[in-house]
Amino acid sequence: MRLLGWLALAAMVGGAVSADARMHAPYRGHRIAPSTAAPLDAFATPAGAYSLRKLKSTYAGPGIKLRRATGGTQDIGFLGFTGFTGAPLDVAAATAFCAATTCFVDTFYDQSGAAQHLVQATAANQPQFVFNCVNSLPCFRFTATTQYLGSVGTIGVVSPLSASVVARHAVRAAPGGSNACQFFWLTNNSLAQHADLDVLFMSNGSATINLAATYPNWHSVTGVYSGASAVGRVDAVETTGTVAASLGPNNIYIQSVEAGATCDQGELIVWNGYGLTAGERAALSANQKGFWGF
């Protein structure tokens, strides 16, 4: 069965949730989930999976590579699943490495197994690693149009295409701008939040679905690019429309695309040739909101 997550607890004891689960409300990195489960264990294999938490229980690599402003780089891994927490990034290791200086993101490792890591070799173009960004959890911060992370190789887009992000447009640019924060971009398929309005665009470059996304809040956002069956989800609200997957090989990107904007992000997952079902979209959104605590 594809769907496996923290909602399964509701089926226990005639729909009642245990006292132990109620004690671990989903805040400050906690989520109501079996301690051995990772959010993608029961999902189709993605084309790219990037997060500041472990997404697959079988993944054994690091989460990110940090570059210290004073010099040097270091891979940072994940903590294990303990109790009702997920498997978050080893923030203690990051703190020790970044002590008394600023750190930036050199590599965002792909947990899908495809080795499509998101990298930025130019120091000036690397986003900043921010501690205590959302409910005591870290994030990446993009503050300039030159800052971005891109995959090491291209993928040929196959319809349908699905993408899910955990992000927020933290600071608006001057009025009159276009898409300020681009949380996902691949061959014109994008999830990006406008500079001026509480609108997040799900677009393929020619067609767009407008999704309500309150600024400057954190959101779980999922888009399924499947032509007339396209749907975008922000938290628990879904909007339908017609947005087809833009076919062709391209890199996966996360970037800030307008001067004056600040864009924070903690997670990006991409499925190529697979459309997430309504149940999967709901379960993933609930899991993301539970872990990140917004």
Instruction: Determine which helix (DSSP H) or strand (DSSP E) holds 278, and give its type and residue range.
Output: helix 278-292
Burial environment of residue 269 by CB neighbours within 10 A (0 to 12, 13 to 18, 19 or more): buried
DSSP string, 100-130: TS-EEEEEE---SSS---EE---GGGPPEEE
pTM equals 0.88
Q: Where are the domains of the chain?
A: 6-12+44-54+106-292
pLDDT of 143 reads 93
pLDDT tens digits for the chain (294 residues)? 333 333 332 332 233 332 222 223 333 334 444 445 689 999 999 999 999 999 999 999 999 999 999 999 999 999 988 766 789 999 999 999 999 999 999 999 999 999 999 999 999 999 999 999 999 999 999 999 999 999 999 999 999 999 999 999 999 877 666 668 999 999 999 999 987 778 899 999 999 999 999 999 999 999 999 999 999 999 999 999 999 999 999 999 999 888 888 999 999 999 999 999 999 999 999 999 999 999
Given a contact cutoff of 8 angstroms between Cβ atoms, the answer to whether 191 and 252 are in contact is no
Q: What is the pLDDT of residue 180?
A: 81
Average pLDDT, the chain: 87
The pLDDT assigned to 178 comes to: 62
pLDDT at 8: 34
Alpha-carbon span 61 to 150, nearest angstrom:
19
Q: Which CATH number fits domain 6-12+44-54+106-292: 2.60.120.200, 3.40.50.280, 2.70.150.10, 3.10.20.30?
A: 2.60.120.200
Which pLDDT tens digit goes with each residue over 59-92? 999 999 999 999 999 999 999 887 667 899 999 9
Neighbours of 13 (CB within 10 A): 9
The pLDDT of residue 3: 38
Exposure of 223 by Cβ count < 10 A (0-12 exposed, 13-18 middle, 19+ buried)? buried
